[in-house]
Amino acid sequence: MTAHRTHLIRSATVACALAGAVVAGAAPASAEPAYASQFIRTNYLVGSPFPFAYEILEAATNGTGVVRLTAGELCNQLGPRCAGYSSGLTVQWINFASGASGATEAGSTPTTITTGGGPVGIAVSAVGAIGVPGFGIVNP
């Protein structure tokens, strides 16, 4: 009878411990999945305020087939200064899985594009400037 009682107490203890672990480990559900970002840099000649500049495009996705595009500040390649604004970027994209493609402009205010699922190739260049385009891949 003592062995049966000991077994019952152990079983109850393990069950309570497991229930506590499940409750403690449960996190509140998020309204939207977290974003994963890819940063794509483009270099170009701009003139004022910097002769040689760069901007970085953030292409963020959360697994829903949508990519959020945001252009960073116009920055000087020759020194640690930024202009405090974005000059705007031209973005061209293609979904390698479906063949869908498009083009848009991105600035400091986020722009979203619906690309669908699958890997998406992105080419970015400065609006109205001569430079070296940037390339990247995201997987929405």
Location of structure tokens 């070296």: 132
- Mean pLDDT, the chain, whole residue set: 83
Query: What is the value of pTM for the model shown?
Result: 0.73
pLDDT in tens, 30-48: 566 788 899 999 999 987 7
> pLDDT tens digits, residue range 78-117?
888 999 999 899 999 999 999 999 999 999 999 999 999 9
Q: Which CATH number applies to 36-138: 1.20.1300, 3.90.105, 1.10.3470, 2.60.40?
A: 2.60.40
Domains in the chain: boundaries: 36-138
